[in-house]
Structure formats: structure tokens, C-alpha cells
Structure 1
Amino acid sequence: MTQTAGPAPRPFLEELKDGVTPRATLLVVGVLALQLLFIASYVGALHHPKLRDVPFGVVAPRPAAAEQAVSQLERLPGEPLDPRAVADRTAARERIMDREIDGALLIDPAGTTDTLLVASGGGRTLANALTTLVTALERSEGRTVRTVDVAPADIGDANGLTSFYLVVGWCVGGYLCASALAMSAGARPTNIRRGIIRLGALALFAIIGGLGGAVIAGPVLGALPGGVAALWGLGALVVLAVGAATLALQCVFGIAGIGVAVLLVVIAGNPSAGGALPPPLLPPFWAAIGPALPPGAGVWAARSLAYFEGNDITGPLLVLSAWAAAGAAITVVMAALRKKPTGRPTSDLPVS
């Protein structure tokens, strides 16, 4: 009995074409680009912290002495400080709490010890950098400095990073939820009704996720002070802003929109958010883009709510609201413009 030989093996190039399609190749190249951008962004932003134009107050009993000190600080190599004269200690503290300045030096002409006001709640790394700089300056003039923390980071927020990680968690939830909603039936909403339903589901997710994050960081772990209600509202807005933007990007770019969302939120947004390094310690590019992206706006608002009596959050809230509104609008418009499939009635199509 003769045995028939099996089919001849296919050439390697044909197997390669089937195993790695052009579409898969493009996706892999895109992932590689995101990987390299991730490394470049994080290392570029965080590898060499350096004080740049830190808003800084100077208090002295006589205006002439204050102006002289301001002039000296302005001439420091590298321009680490952006000094300005402040009337008195009370005014300096108020400006720090209003987040107009990050520190202040109170000069005592009658003695040899001056006082430095800092706020570690706005970033412990920044407070430490100011302390190091001013201590060295005072020592060079034969003086000493006493540091007073007017807005100290909570004992449960040892490194001052809780706000950052909380906002990062909200951002991750936002774009993962949006990706899951869109990918359930392809990367683009089929019609306007489905787009609106997905936005509604995202809003519900944002409310629950915002509350969960606020409760975990606050009452459960005691890692961040401040009211749960305020953090809840902020968290819901952060999740909605990132999620709506992700839905919009998927409507415009298809599945590649997920990569664009990662580029904006993770690669550009996280290192520029002011978490590990507050804005005055970041290179100019990252310091400039941070406040305009959801992570940066969220971190600033979270720290303001926790340590600065809720001051100076109008701008960040407007940024987050703009992302949420623009994302929702683009999602609805793109869904409305999308042509209905032909060949059978829309009502017969499966709904995911």
C-alpha cells in the first residue's frame, strides 16, 4: 500500500507574510515608537532636576534692603529664582498658600539667622531644593537659615507623591475604560446613539472611579488630607476628561487613537505633571506642556485641595473641563457623520 506524501511546506517568505501582516507590522512599529518616546520623555524630564525661575518672595524691614536682596537673587547663575519683594511675613505666607510663590526668605538685619518659608505640600523635592540653595547662599555670607514649612505634606504622604499617583490612577482608568467601550465593537462608534451611550457609560464610570480613588487615598489609607467630596469631584472630572479624549481620538484615528491617547496622557502627560519633580524643577518643554494636559492639571488641583485650602484651581479645572467637553463633542460629531452600513437595515445589525 503506497502512502501519499503530504503537501510540500510553504516557502518561508509566504509564511512570514501570513504570520506578520502589513497591518501587524505597522502596529509593531507604532508600539516601538511609543516605547522609545516613553524612554525619551521620562528620562529627558527627570534625569537632571534643576531649579528654574522659581517664584520666590523676599521680606525685609526696609524696602531698600528687600530690593537689594531681590537684585542679588536675580543675578544668581542659571536664574534658579524669580524673586520679588513682599511686604511682610503674613503676606509671604498668604502668597504661598495662594500658590503665587513657592517660598520666601525673611531677612533679619538685627541678627545672623534668617527664615525660609517653604511648602512641602506642593512638592517635597522643590521644598528641599529651595532649602539647599538658600542654605548655601546664607552660608556664603556668614549667615544661617531656619526653615519653616507653612504647608507641610501629610505624615501619610511621606514623599509628597500621593496626589500624583492618585491622578495617574484616574487617568489610567479613563483611557482604559474608553478603550474597552470602543473596542467592544470596533474602534469607531457605529452611530450617534451608540456614541452617546458610550459617553454616558464613561460618565458613570468616572463618578464611581472618582469616588473610589478619593476614599482609598483619604479615609482608607490616610495618605492625603482634604475632603472626600472635593477629591471625588476632581477625580470624576479627570477620568471623564481622559476618557472622552480617548473616545474622540479613537473616532478620528481608529485603533491608532489608543496610541495617540497613550502618547498624550502617559508619555507627555505623566513626566510633565509635576509629580516626581514640580514644574520649577522640570526642563522648559515639560514645564510648559504640563499644565495643559490632564495629568498636570489634575496633580496641581489635587495638591491645592489637600494642602492649599483649595486655592488656585480654577485654571486646572477649566483645562480638565475643556478636554472633557472637546472629547465628548468630537465623539458625537464623528458618530453623527459616520455613514450607516448598506445592504441591510440598520435595525438588523448586532449591537454590542
Structure 2
Amino acid sequence: MKLAAEVRNAVSPRAALLVVGVLALQLLFIASYVGALHDPKPRDVPFGVVAPGAAADRAAGRLAELPGDPLDPRVLADPEEARRQIVDREIDGALIIDPRGTTDTLLVASGGGTVLANALNTITTEVEKPQRRTVRTVDVAPASARDFDGLSAFYLVVGWCVGGYLLASILAISAGSRPANPQRAVIRLVVLALSALLGGLGGAVIVGPVLGALPGSVAALWGLGALVVFSVGAVTLALQALTGIVGIGLAVLLIVIAGNPSAGGAFPAPMLPDFWRAIGPALPPGAGTWAARSIAYFKGNALSGAMQVLAVWAVLGAVLTLVMSAVRRRGDREDGGPVGADPS
């Protein structure tokens, strides 16, 4: 009986619920990462085919019938169009067929993911082999020699995301998870914005001038980093304002467990299972990774969609934080309690 009483005193019902929540996050982490990354296979990869006349349609039809549907081929007018669409991130590769010889040209972009570029090379080589043809690979947007497997953009964005939710979590732990009034909510958002500017600049300088891991504009990466940090931090603040300390766990669920494996870092989106491929572009890690690679390797093309996703998360998080602080202040007034009594 004494032991049972000690357990009840040592582990409150609230603590027990938090332990259960941590266990659930642990298992979800394993399920999400292993589920997304254990068996990567290209599926419906946007892929161009260039060939004269009816040969283009025949080649596209042959690629479309490959087992497992690894490619989503479409006929393009000429090699220049194929290069343009790759640089614009409309397609991930293209096969240019030379009817006068036995060597065709495969265009890839390892800056968008080395693993995917290698997979396209393997697929086309196997397709061409029975016809006694060979493939010459040309990298239209090559990854930096210091960017192993094209992962630096992903790791950069992960670092920014970690900074965002840790900043918001520290504000909650140090001064109450729910801001007592709108003024304090604004202060938290301002502190977060200033930290986001510093974090964005630091990350851009480290991967660019310091390590030489990513090419591209430092200023553009700085702006992206500031937006990633602020959007993740603002969402974390909003979740804490809604649910208290549990909001930190919800932020981990959203950003780390759901966002990171679906971001297209280790394996680009066309190599992920359908669920992770669908959610990745809508979450900050996926949008940030896409934008960082666009800045570094694709002349800033195809940025707008990813930046809009990050902006929506930032605005949604900030507005919810302010609204919940106003609701809490009004509730304190109606209860007759002193406004601002919370140490936050």
C-alpha cells in the first residue's frame, strides 16, 4: 500500500498522460521515418522524351508501361525545351533520342536530389539495353561537389525548423505556455521574428561562405531561413496557446515526425510513398527544402508555391497566438481574476 501511495504521489495523472503522449510520439516517429524511407522507389517521376516524329510517342509509351510506373513521360518538342523544363522544375529528367546513332542523352538535375538522378540513369540504361543502345548522362543542374547526395539544403532547413520550435518552446517553459494578454503575445512574436532573422542569416552564411556546401544567393537563403524559423516558431506558439505545454509535443508531431521524412531530403518526393509525398509540400520542412534547392541550383525558379506555404503557416500561427491571448484575457476578466496575473 505504501508503494502504491508513493507511486501516486510521484506520478500525477497529468504526468502519466504526458508519459503516454511521449510514448505515442516515439512510436509515431519510428512508424513515420521507417514507413517513408525504408523502401524508396521512383513512381510517376515527371519525365520528358525528345525524338523525331512518331519515335517520340513510341518511346514515351514504352516508358509509361514500365513495371511499377516509375516514370510519367511526356513528349517534348526539342532538347532546349527539355532543359528549360528541368531548370524550371517542371520535370525531373528527360531522354533525348538520337535516331542517327546508338547513344541517347539523359538529362538529369542532381541538385534536386542525387538519388533520384541516379535512379533515372539506372531506369533508362535498363530500358535501352535490350535495344543495344547506350545512355550518356548530362547533369543540367549539378549538385555542388561539397553537397554530398544533395542533402545540405535539407539539413539546413531541418536546423532552421529545430531553431523555430525550440525558440517557441523556451518562451513557453520560461514564462508560461499561454501568454496572459495580447501585448505579451506580440512581444513573443517580435522576439521570435528577431531570432528568426539572426538564425536565417547564420544558417545561410554557414552553408555558403563558410562551408561552401550550397551555391546561390546568401541574401535569398537568409530570407528563406528567416521565414522557415518564424513560421515553425509561430505555429509552435499557437499550439501552446491552444493546448498548453502539450503544444510542444504537437509541434514535434507536425514538424519532426510528419514533416522531416516527407520533406524530400534523403529521397526526393517522387521516391516517397503516396502519403508522405502528398503531405510533404504542405509542411514547412518540405516547402523549405524545395525552396532552398531552387535557390541553390535552379536559379530561383519554382519558388512561389513553397514560399506561399511558409507564409500561410507563419500568418496562421501568429494570428492564432494573438486570438488565443485575447480570448484568455477576456476570460480572466469575466472570471473576476486580475488580468496579467500569469507570470508569462
TM-score range, shorter chain: over 0.9
Q: Is the 8 A contact 2:45 2:270 kept in 1?
A: yes
Q: What is the letter of the counterpart of residue 92 of structure 1?
A: A
- 1:112-140 C-alpha deviation (Å, 9 max, x unpaired): 11000000000000000000111111112
Structure 2 CA distance for aligned equivalents of residues 11 and 158 of structure 1: 58
Q: Could you tell me which of 175, 188, 193 is aligned with 1:198?
A: 188
In the other structure, the counterpart of 2:135 is 145
In the other structure, the counterpart of 1:32 is 23
| Residue correspondence of structure 1 range 182-261 to structure 2 within 5 A | 182-261=172-251
Structure 1 CA distance for aligned equivalents of residues 321 and 79 of structure 2: 51
Q: Is the 8 A contact 2:172 2:245 kept in 1?
A: no
1:134 and 2:124 are equivalent in the alignment: yes
Question: Aligned-pair distance for 1:351?
Answer: 4.8
Question: Aligned-pair distance for 1:74?
Answer: 1.0
1:78 and 2:54 are equivalent in the alignment: no
- 1:37-80 C-alpha deviation (Å, 9 max, x unpaired): 00000000000011100000000122x11111111111111111
Do the aligned partners of residues 122 and 340 (structure 1) sit closer, same or farther apart at CA in structure 2, a change above 3 Å counting? Answer: same
The RMSD of aligned alpha carbons is: 1.2
1:314 and 2:304 are equivalent in the alignment: yes
Question: Aligned-pair distance for 1:340?
Answer: 2.7
Structure 1 length normalisation: TM-score? 0.95
- 1:82-127 C-alpha deviation (Å, 9 max, x unpaired): 0000111111000000000000000011111100000000000000
Structure 1 CA distance for aligned equivalents of residues 38 and 284 of structure 2: 23
Structure 2 CA distance for aligned equivalents of residues 57 and 311 of structure 1: 18
Structure 2 CA distance for aligned equivalents of residues 138 and 56 of structure 1: 16
In the other structure, the counterpart of 1:111 is 101
Q: Could you tell me which of 331, 340, 343 is aligned with 2:332?
A: 340
| SS at 1:184 equivalent | helix
In the other structure, the counterpart of 1:47 is 38
| SS at 1:187 equivalent | coil
In the other structure, the counterpart of 2:79 is 89
- 1:194-234 C-alpha deviation (Å, 9 max, x unpaired): 01110010000100000000000100111100011000000
Structure 1 CA distance for aligned equivalents of residues 32 and 208 of structure 2: 31
Q: Could you tell me which of 12, 21, 33 is aligned with 1:21?
A: 12
Structure 1 CA distance for aligned equivalents of residues 187 and 2 of structure 2: 48
Show structure 2 runs of 5+ residues with no match.
Answer: none
In the other structure, the counterpart of 1:3 is none
Q: Is the 8 A contact 1:191 1:340 kept in 2?
A: no
Structure 1 CA distance for aligned equivalents of residues 296 and 202 of structure 2: 17
Question: Aligned-pair distance for 1:262?
Answer: 0.3
Larger Rg: 1
In the other structure, the counterpart of 1:303 is 293
Do the aligned partners of residues 204 and 83 (structure 1) sit closer, same or farther apart at CA in structure 2, a change above 3 Å counting? Answer: same
Q: Is the 8 A contact 1:113 1:144 kept in 2?
A: yes
| Residue correspondence of structure 1 range 267-278 to structure 2 within 5 A | 267-278=257-268
Question: Aligned-pair distance for 1:346?
Answer: 3.9
1:178 and 2:168 are equivalent in the alignment: yes
Q: Is the 8 A contact 1:272 1:289 kept in 2?
A: yes
| SS at 2:175 equivalent | coil
Q: Identify which range, 174-183 or 320-329, moves more after superposition.
A: 174-183
Structure 2 CA distance for aligned equivalents of residues 142 and 325 of structure 1: 56
Greater per-residue helix proportion: 2
Question: Aligned-pair distance for 1:176?
Answer: 0.3
Identity %: 68
- 1:266-297 C-alpha deviation (Å, 9 max, x unpaired): 00000000000000000000000000000000
| SS at 2:190 equivalent | helix
- 1:242-283 C-alpha deviation (Å, 9 max, x unpaired): 000000001111111111100000000000000000000000
| SS at 1:159 equivalent | helix
| SS at 1:55 equivalent | strand
Structure 1 CA distance for aligned equivalents of residues 174 and 259 of structure 2: 26
